[in-house]
Amino acid sequence: MELWEYPGARVDCLVLYASRTEVEAADIDHALSALDKLLKPEVAQRLKGRLIFEIRGYEDDPRDLWEIPEVRAWMKALDQAFPYWFYFMDVGPGSTLAKSSAFRPTHCADLASVEFRVNKAKLTRRNKAAG
């Protein structure tokens, strides 16, 4: 269990990242397993708006991340598998989302709809666990 997963743990921000190797292999498994942990109800409320997500390994590439087809495809696959991630993202002016349109969800109209989907996912997972 990670420190940020403990109930009551103070979390200013959580940094998760994917490597260029993962992106080029179209492998979202590592990112997805980390993001799935965020759906625990006690974690979800504490980490709303506190996630910083990075893609590393393209620092020497002259293109912006949004210009790289593999990055866009990888983010689209992640968004389809975990449509709740935007709820957790830091969306401040210096955030990854503010810097790159590659990180904007493909189907989210606004934060309220994302928050609804996260709450619905929590209820669905809770009902499955109880049943």
DSSP of the chain? --GGGSTT---S-EEEEEEHHHHHTT--HHHHHHHHGGGSHHHHHHHTT-EEEEEES-TT-SS-GGG-HHHHHHHHHHHHH-TTHHHHB--STTSHHHH-GGGS-SS---HHHHHHHHHHHHHHHHHHHH-
Measured at the alpha carbon of residue 89, what is the angle toward residues 27 and 2, in degrees to the nearest 5? 70
The pLDDT score that the predictor gives to residue 32 is 92
The pair of three-digit structure tokens given for residue 97, joined into one six-digit string: 């989302």
- 32 CA to centre of own chain: 8
pTM as predicted? 0.68
State the Cα–Cα distance between residues 45 and 12, nearest whole angstrom. 13
| pLDDT by 10s per residue, the chain, length 131 | 777 777 777 878 888 889 999 999 999 999 999 888 888 888 888 888 888 888 899 999 998 888 899 998 998 899 899 988 778 888 776 555 544 544 444 444 334 444 444 555 544 444 444 45
